[in-house]
């Protein structure tokens, strides 16, 4: 999925520049093509199956399904009560304060608002990531010492437990 703020910023930069058209491709195969000229705009493509209606109205790009196969209608997903704690930055995820120490949290750990969940190292700065809700850690979505992207789910917390 594409971060709407990132997409909006890219489109604003395109509008303010002398560049007529732009094409971006992510590592996950999401492709965005945008153009200022009307002849090019009809060919604008966002080839991601997970485009939201808000994304479509917020951009000049039109959504299309991947050309390999027609998109099947998606079944409604069950409503989850788990709250996601997402990475606020790109960096390296550390579940422990230092090598050899215990993890800040693990599955089943009861957490409170403001409690440190992990550290993300970005540009040689260690950033403590705090929990925004109280509850129980239901899922840890990242392995220790692995790279994380902005908006990537780090933890899922059940506020009802």
What's the domain range around 123? 83-158
Is 77 inside any structural domain?
no
Q: Which of 124, 129, 125 is nearest to 95 (CA)?
A: 129
Rg (the chain; Cα; Å): 20
Task: Please report the DSSP string for 107-120 in residue order.
Answer: TT-EE-TT-EEEEE
Is 28 inside any structural domain?
yes
Is 32 inside any structural domain?
yes
What pTM does this model have? 0.50
Q: pLDDT digits over 18-74, tens only? A: 777 777 777 777 777 777 766 544 444 444 434 444 444 444 444 433 444 555 566
Q: 2 - beta bridge partners?
A: none
Is 148 inside any structural domain?
yes
Tokens of 161: 């437990």
Is 67 inside any structural domain?
no
Same domain, 40 and 102: no
């Amino acid at each position: 999925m594409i971060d709407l703020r990132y997409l909006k910023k890219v489109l604003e930069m395109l509008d303010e520049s002398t560049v007529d058209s732009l094409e971006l491709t992510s590592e996950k195969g999401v492709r965005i093509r945008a153009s200022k000229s009307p002849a090019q705009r009809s060919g604008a493509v966002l080839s991601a199956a997970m485009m939201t209606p808000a994304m479509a109205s917020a951009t000049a790009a039109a959504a299309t399904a991947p050309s390999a196969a027609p998109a099947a209608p998606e079944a409604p997903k069950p409503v989850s009560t788990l709250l996601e704690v997402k990475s606020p930055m790109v960096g390296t995820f550390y579940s422990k304060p230092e090598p050899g120490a215990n993890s800040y949290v693990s599955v089943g750990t009861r957490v409170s608002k403001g409690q440190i969940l992990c550290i993300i190292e970005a540009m040689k700065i260690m950033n403590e990531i705090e929990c925004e809700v109280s509850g129980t850690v239901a899922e840890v979505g990242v392995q220790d010492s692995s790279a994380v992207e902005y908006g990537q789910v780090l933890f899922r917390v059940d506020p009802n437990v």
